[in-house]
Chains A and B, each alone.
Chain A
Amino acid sequence: MQFTFTDEQEEFRLIVRRFMDDKSPRTEVRKLMDSEQGYDAAVWKQLSEGLGLPGIHIPEAYGGQGFGFVELCIVLEEMGRALLCAPFFSATALAATSIIHAGTEEQKLALLPGIASGQTLATLALSEANRDWLPCNTETSATPSDNNSGDNSDDNYLLNGEKSYVVDGHIADLLIVVARTPGTAGDEGLSLFTVPSDAPGLQRRLLKSLDPTRKLAHIEFKQTPATLLGELNRGGDTLPPILDLAAVALASEMVGGAQMMLESALDYAQLRMQFGRLIGSFQVIKHKCADMLLDVELAKSTAYYAASAAADGAPDLPTVASLSKAYASDTYMKSAAECLQIHGGIGFTWENDTHLYFKRAKSSEVFLGDANYHRDQVVLRWENQA
């Protein structure tokens, strides 16, 4: 277990931070969040070609950088801090992780290099109208397709159903879709499929998201051709570890945002004068800030521990993944709310940047399962804890 970052990792973090400072200032965030596409293609190209970030945790054999989950989480923490608007979480944290864990060797060789190079935008379509992230609630169906003349016809299916809350689903080239074999229920009969976004019978619609920096789409499948990813009916086994890793990734992104809220609150407390004093000299503000530090640092410790557990494939990963997600989502939301409160009236204005983080915190709070769900998992999974 790694409790601190190596010098190389710290250096890497600085490189990523400089990139974010340079390419994702708040003015850019505001511009991109108002665009339908939601990201800047030129910045994505630099981020991919210059830094190789989309392939950070993809093995070199599949065109990636070959780093581990700790490095991925460093990238995500910095992106969360900068509120970068880019299809990174969808493509790298969700889709690539799904392919690495569920795909066959052939599929990894075919699909991962495109994601690693930044050329393929991909995402995971799991959640449906039932509004949760449990694979067992999947209703979208997959039936074997007879009328496909290509080779490997065993892998061809037709999808029917609807997916929602699909991150960057409106721009993704490749969708990884969770669907079930008709007549099955619960965790039985679940499989993953790949679908190109231009497949027939696929309709997508950009949703109006509360957090405009994270674009969400609704996707309908009507007799849409799809290719099986990995083995049939194994989703009940492959999805939980994928979702654990996604939770760890999200926790890292959230602690980056929470840290920014703490810094923003501190800056303002040392700038704003009331009653003839800096407001940061009042104990009531100091105590809020001290509590924010406590929350943020403890949340970081859980995210770092979980990232390290993910990198090591540690047996306590399911427990600590839920632990870090619950800790980070409570902390991010609370930090954003306290930062806003310390700003007072100006914090409630559109002009002030706090609301951008407040909204990201709010959407991250429920994305991949809320804190109550994950807290329950912590207790139920505690026995696996080392």
Chain B
Amino acid sequence: MSEQTVESTEQSLRTDVRTWVEANWNPDASLLEWRNKLIDSGWGCSSWPEEWHGRGLSIGLSEAVDDELRKAGAVGVAKAGARMLAAATILEHGDDFHKDKFLRHLLTGEDTWCQLFSEPGSGSDLAGLTTRADFDGENWVLNGQKVWTTSAHHAQYGIVLARTNWDVPKHQGITYFLMNMEQAGVEVRPLQQMNGHASFNEIFFTDAKIAPELMLGEEGKGWKVAMTTLAHERRLVDGIRSWGRGAKGQGRIYDELKAEIANVMEPYKWYPQRAGRVDLLIERAKATGKYDDPAVRQSIAKVLMMAKAAEWTGRRVKAAQALGRPPGPEGSLGKLAGSQVARLAAQAHTLIAGHDAMLTEEDGALNGIISEVLISTPAESIAGGTDEIQRNIIAERSLGLPKEPRTDVDRPFRDVPRNTVS
């Protein structure tokens, strides 16, 4: 397709969206009423297939549609949280029953979802999970423990990985389920982190029930299904940071949206501090007089330089993508760079704060913002794949170094040494 045709397709598409929004947008409608209308129109999730609430558009064109909705001040479908991970996985691996039962309520925001993958005994080694599901003739019966689960305390549904066969190698005995969280047998407890916040939960399953039709994909094939979920996870994390800024405007629908955003964003309120608050360094150094200390300036420079270098690397990756060039190894470095920036930023903030680094909350520097940086940045190099796992992935996939010989995949999982916590 020539460039001109692409452009005219996009222009006429934008016109269609504008026309539809002008005719239908009503800020005084309820959020639910509007989202149902948006879902019926196919504009809410336009990259989805036509038979499931979308229009089958390419990602590029679908972004143009979202852009028009944003420009018109129109509220979009619910996209935050694990619901989009569930949706992407259901779209790819689910049957019509799953799609019909879950997709609409997920997009309207009526149903909240959570992701039940990590366990106390298997963090980096996800395939070593030991939560078990056994079929009792009627239902799958779930026992075990999950951890680091955002939003579980108000989720209706979860995507869950459980071991259904212990006599085959680890990756082959895992099954993927969709489960009802609102049942006896599911206990949700908040998990307090070292910075005092409790953004995640621990989940305890004691004979929780999953109906057989809620299996996604085949029994024992859950690892492959999980790969779909994980492929979307990175994009979700990037998306959530921009999403929370959307609720501006007057009318009932905006009030409802603000409440939804406040609820969803609550666990993430310390995330800017987790990334190191690089934006505050120079201003803080000047305010405290530490700007005149050349050692402090060295420390600040290291952060600023790496943050800029990482930002420009991201721009390089995007610019090459836009020209249709094959992705190079530089595309895999963002997470590793981010955790190093955070760590360097915490060091610089400590030097700038001086004695105030010993204090916290309202007694601490900048009303506790700086102390929150100091005790939140360690999460950056752990969450979403530790730096060490990132380095393994970069070395093996981007640099082509040979895999480490393994002793856990050549035998039944039953015989693999594992943690006593299960």
The stretch among A92-100, A347-355, A378-386 that forms the contact with chain B is A378-386
Q: Is the CB of A281 within 8 A of B313?
A: no
Using a CB-CB cutoff of 8 Å, which residues 247-298 of chain A contact chain B?
A: 266, 269-270, 277-278, 280-283, 285-287, 289-291, 293-294, 297-298
Give the residue of A269, A300, A305, A375 whose beta carbon is less than 8 angstroms from that of B401: A269
Chain B, residue nearest A378 (CB):
B301
Give the residue of B294, B298, B340, B398 whose beta carbon is less than 8 angstroms from that of A293: B398
Q: Is the CB of B396 within 8 A of A379?
A: no
The answer to whether A85 has its CB under 8 Å from any CB of chain B is: no
Give the residue of A304, A327, A379 whose beta carbon is less than 8 angstroms from that of B300: A379
- Chain B neighbourhood of A298, CB < 8 A: 306, 309-310, 313, 333, 337
Q: Is the CB of B305 within 8 A of A289?
A: no
The answer to whether A299 has its CB under 8 Å from any CB of chain B is: yes
- Chain A neighbourhood of B315, CB < 8 A: 3, 301
The answer to whether B136 has its CB under 8 Å from any CB of chain A is: no
The answer to whether B248 has its CB under 8 Å from any CB of chain A is: no
Given known A-B contacts A286-B395, A289-B401, A382 and B316 have beta carbons under 8 A apart? no
Interface size on A, residues (CB 8 A): 38
Shortest CB-to-CB span from A126 to chain B, Å, is: 24
Q: Is the CB of A326 within 8 A of B401?
A: no
The answer to whether A302 has its CB under 8 Å from any CB of chain B is: yes
Given known A-B contacts A298-B333, A327-B309, A375 and B319 have beta carbons under 8 A apart? no
Given known A-B contacts A281-B402, A285-B401, A294-B336, A301 and B309 have beta carbons under 8 A apart? yes
- Chain B neighbourhood of A278, CB < 8 A: 402
- Chain B neighbourhood of A76, CB < 8 A: none
Q: Is the CB of A3 within 8 A of B402?
A: no
- Chain B neighbourhood of A285, CB < 8 A: 401
Q: Is the CB of A302 within 8 A of B309?
A: yes
Shortest CB-to-CB span from A379 to chain B, Å, is: 4
- Among B298, B396, B398, B401, which residue has the most Cβ atoms of chain A within 10 A? B401
Give the residue of A3, A301, A376 whose beta carbon is less than 8 angstroms from that of B298: A376
Shortest CB-to-CB span from A280 to chain B, Å, is: 4
Question: What does the 1/0 interface line of B309-341 toward A look like (CB < 8 Å)?
Answer: 110110110111001010001100100110010
The answer to whether B302 has its CB under 8 Å from any CB of chain A is: yes
Chain A interface mostly: helix
Shortest CB-to-CB span from B267 to chain A, Å, is: 29
Distance in angstroms between the alpha carbons of A380 and B291 in the assembled complex:
9
- Chain B neighbourhood of A293, CB < 8 A: 329, 333, 394, 398-399
The answer to whether A104 has its CB under 8 Å from any CB of chain B is: no
The answer to whether B110 has its CB under 8 Å from any CB of chain A is: no
B-contacting residues of A (Cβ < 8 Å)? 3-4, 266, 269-270, 277-278, 280-283, 285-287, 289-291, 293-294, 297-302, 304-305, 320, 323, 326-327, 372, 375-376, 378-380, 382
A-contacting residues of B (Cβ < 8 Å)? 282, 291, 294, 297-298, 300-302, 304-306, 308-310, 312-313, 315-316, 318-320, 323, 325, 329-330, 333, 336-337, 340, 388, 390-392, 394-396, 398-405
A-B contact pairs, 24 of them (CB 8 A): A4-B325, A281-B401, A286-B392, A286-B396, A290-B392, A290-B394, A290-B399, A293-B333, A294-B340, A298-B306, A299-B309, A301-B312, A301-B313, A302-B305, A302-B312, A305-B308, A323-B304, A326-B301, A375-B297, A375-B305, A376-B294, A379-B291, A379-B297, A382-B304
